[in-house]
Structure 1
Amino acid sequence: MTSPPPPPLLTVSPATAEANLPELTVADFFKSADAFPLYLLILLIFYFVLLHYCRLRFKQKLKPLKKEILESLPKLTLSTESCTTTRSRRCVICLEDYVAGDVVRVLPPCGHMFHVFCIDKWFQLGSTCPSCRIIPVAHIKPNIYHKLLHVLVR
């Protein structure tokens, strides 16, 4: 003997289904409390997209300064007089005072001075001045640049 199938839990005829539900438009749905999970989902998607963008932005590696530009920046040996009259008396990379005989570089656009070893190492990591974040320019004519160096050091 076989048993008969169980009765359905809810029997709804098409005529009664349409009569029980009110007319609901898209605008009404977004105004209702039922739309809150949808708003929450949109907010979470926006948050994760923004988080992903920020992580990619901060992971971008700084590009080192090109060797041609680095070699175009002349070296200068400090004298005893120039150590006392310079604008800055300390290398901001290694935090040591300048002494007579130090070989330094003065960056053309900003005039900041650094030990050659320090700034060359710095430019292997990035291409901006450690003090003001300006990118050194290589297109300054050498004669003008040497005059600028003599004005800054003297």
Structure 2
Amino acid sequence: MEFKFRPIKLEDVKQIDSWNYENFVEKVEMKPYFESFQHTGQLKGPGGCEGYAAFVDEEVVGLFEFNINRNLMEIGLALRPDWIGKGLGATYVKQGIAFGIHHYDEDMNEVRLEVDEQNKAAIRVYEKIGFKKIEQKQCDIEMGMVL
């Protein structure tokens, strides 16, 4: 499976905002994109991150967000609800990180993310590809991976 990434567009933001997850997973936080677009005409995500829609066969199936701070890449990500649980998580995360490293052309040495402590499946995926727990932050776990 190969995911393609492109800068997020307003129609992608609207589509991702409509995704509904069951159980503990909260909605993907898309409000910052709408607010930044309204104020500046640009689409910026939480914390000013840059968002990219992930596609398979011209269909939006994911979101990947990047904040670059020198050698550190902070990521946020989501996979469309009907794509979860199909064994694609590790491939998706690896391809998104590879895209970010290539796109930003920086000498990255670490990737970090935060995940809800109840999202055991996502934590297993992150650990499987090399992430380690760094710190517990209320209900979230900060994880990092040395590149």
More strand by share: 2
TM-score range, shorter chain: under 0.3
Which structure carries more helix by proportion? 1
**TM-score (norm. length: structure 1):** 0.26
Identify the structure with bigger relative contact order (alpha carbons < 8 Å, sequence gap 6+): 1
TM-score, normalised via structure 2 length: 0.27
